[in-house]
Amino acid sequence: MPFRSVTHQLKSKWQQKRSSRAKSVDLPTPPSTDNETAHPPTLQQLQQQQQQQQDQEQQNTGTTTKQDDKRKKGKDLPPSPDYLLAGIGDYLFDRPLGHGKFSKVMLAKHYLTGEQYAIKVIDKRLHEYRVMSRLVREIRLMEALDHPNVVHLYETVETADSLYLVMEYVPGFNLDEHLQKRHGLLHEDEARLIFRQMVAAVDYCHSRWVVHRDLKAPNVLLKTNGQVKLADFGLGNRFGLQRLRTMCGSMLYYSPEIICEQKYIGPEVDCWCLGVTLFRMTSGFEPFSHARTFGELRKDVIDGNYPMPTHFSEGLQQTIRKCLTVDRRRRIALRVALKDDPWLNDNGRMKDLFLEKGSDENVRHRMERERSKRQCLKDMEEEKQSGQHVKKTVIYHPINASIYFTGNAGYSPRMEENTQTQELLRAELLAEMK
């Protein structure tokens, strides 16, 4: 080998080492200014950051796959042909009720019965794996619940691009909107009627091994007749022998174990949130809203330091203290914390919520649902063995079995094929209109 080439190789290696050392040198970080140290972030700023982080978590994913990369490029995807549909399954769309970044809610009518339903339309192409897994978990939780104070999920319809959740339509408003109309607070008698239904719904969820973890006024729906409907199980989960550890929920509703990032069972968190909601209904503000920073909030929650308004009755104060006790063992279950509570039962004038037991009819109904579930799984297995493509996003619902659109023609990411499909659907719709 010529000497010149050897020299050239050594010189190039030396330059590479020198450049790598220069890159590895960390520049000193500038010192923090006095303004940064003197003005820590306020609790309101932290709440805004928490909301932004939750929104960002819905867009990010922990694993990267080719399918996730396709979903990330939402701007490159053509409009879904499903948006041109006038209905889905046995339901006809009436008008939109609301919309979000990746979904919309439509008011629909059953074409046979004329009953109204709220159908949530979710574009699966725009969601990533982690978000879809949370959505599937929320669906499976709602599948297990069948209570008059919990929003029903009747069935799920799935196409290649979209997921349709057929839910109970609740005309009315949420508890937060109701409080705003009443100048921020309610009378104890009205608050008792709402709180009793919330307790009944949460206690039923716990009996089905489901914990909500995000109980607050916006997630409590009120019908015009005063009936309460518990909604939004997006942060819910199953609980059991394995402890939960996710730090979730709204900041002003954090329980001591949540704010200390400790493991917890689940029902004790819901009991704490019920106490905060009851305090909010009867006072007009959250019990720990006086904290200005997260450090103050954490200290007040751990110490159980919150003001008790003087206009509260003695019974209401005792009920709130039972729910907001720092000792988690005393709120490990609602039946433990609120058993024979005088204010909750209006000093004996109302029946005890925890004396009711499941009737034989409910047991038979649950056994029939289990048999139907096993039959549904058996049918799906037979369809799979026969060569049909079965999507196992949702397996079973309390009311009806899930509906699956299965076919050989799957979703094609190519722009021209989607555009062609969209034009064909539009032509068919125009022909029907004429």
| Per-residue pLDDT reduced to its tens digit, 36-49 | 444 556 666 666 66
The C-alpha atoms of residue 43 and residue 301 are separated, in whole angstroms, by: 14
For every residue of 39-52, DSSP letters joined together read SPPPHHHHHHHHHH
Best-predicted range by mean pLDDT (60-69, 119-128, 251-260)? 251-260
For every residue of 103-125, DSSP letters joined together read EEEEEEEETTT--EEEEEEEEGG
- Residue 120: name the closest of 137, 108, 129 by CA: 108
For every residue of 375-428, DSSP letters joined together read HHHHHHHHHHHTT-----S--B-SSSB-EE---S------HHHHHHHHHHHHHH
Question: For residue 366, is pLDDT > 80?
Answer: no
Contact of 244 with 150, CB cutoff 8 Å: no
Model pLDDT, residue 141 = 92
The residues that bridge with 244 in the sheet, in sequence order, are: 264
Catalytic residue set: 214
What mean pLDDT do residues 213-231 have? 94
What mean pLDDT do residues 115-123 have? 91
Banded pLDDT at 377 (limits 50, 70, 90): low
What mean pLDDT do residues 191-219 have? 95
The tokens describing 145, both together, are: 């619940």
Question: For residue 93, is pLDDT > 50?
Answer: yes
pLDDT in tens, 324-334: 999 999 999 99
Of 17-26, 58-67, 142-151, 232-241, give the lowest mean pLDDT range.
58-67
Bigger pLDDT: 166 vs 84: 166
Query: Kindly report the CA angle at 199 between 195 and 203, in degrees rounded to 5?
Result: 175
Banded pLDDT at 103 (limits 50, 70, 90): confident
Model pLDDT, residue 404 = 40
Q: Please, what are the domains in the chain?
A: 82-168 (3.30.200.20), 172-355 (1.10.510.10)
Bigger pLDDT: 349 vs 65: 349
Banded pLDDT at 76 (limits 50, 70, 90): low
The C-alpha atoms of residue 148 and residue 152 are separated, in whole angstroms, by: 8
The tokens describing 95, both together, are: 């008008």
The C-alpha atoms of residue 267 and residue 290 are separated, in whole angstroms, by: 26
Model pLDDT, residue 373 = 63
- Residue 134: name the closest of 234, 204, 56, 208 by CA: 234
Question: For residue 147, is pLDDT > 80?
Answer: yes
Model pLDDT, residue 425 = 60
Contact of 289 with 254, CB cutoff 8 Å: no
Model pLDDT, residue 365 = 60
What mean pLDDT do residues 80-90 have? 77
The tokens describing 78, both together, are: 């053509």
- Sequence length of the chain is 434
* % of the chain exceeding 70 in pLDDT: 63
Banded pLDDT at 367 (limits 50, 70, 90): low
What mean pLDDT do residues 6-31 have? 48
Bigger pLDDT: 421 vs 203: 203
The C-alpha atoms of residue 214 and residue 191 are separated, in whole angstroms, by: 19
Average pLDDT value over all residues in the chain = 77
What mean pLDDT do residues 384-409 have? 47
Model pLDDT, residue 195 = 97
pLDDT in tens, 279-290: 999 999 999 999
Best-predicted range by mean pLDDT (10-19, 315-324, 358-367, 382-391)? 315-324
Q: Is 120 annotated as belonging to a binding site? A: yes
- Residue 153: name the closest of 196, 118, 203, 188 by CA: 118
- Residues with Cβ within 8 Å of residue 405, at least 6 apart in sequence: 157, 158, 159, 160
Of 272-281, 285-294, 352-361, give the lowest mean pLDDT range.
352-361
Model pLDDT, residue 29 = 44
Banded pLDDT at 17 (limits 50, 70, 90): low
Question: For residue 77, is pLDDT > 80?
Answer: no
Contact of 212 with 236, CB cutoff 8 Å: yes
What burial class does residue 92 get, using C-beta atoms within 10 Å of its C-beta: 0-12 exposed, 13-18 middle, 19+ buried? middle
Model pLDDT, residue 412 = 41
The tokens describing 10, both together, are: 């050594």
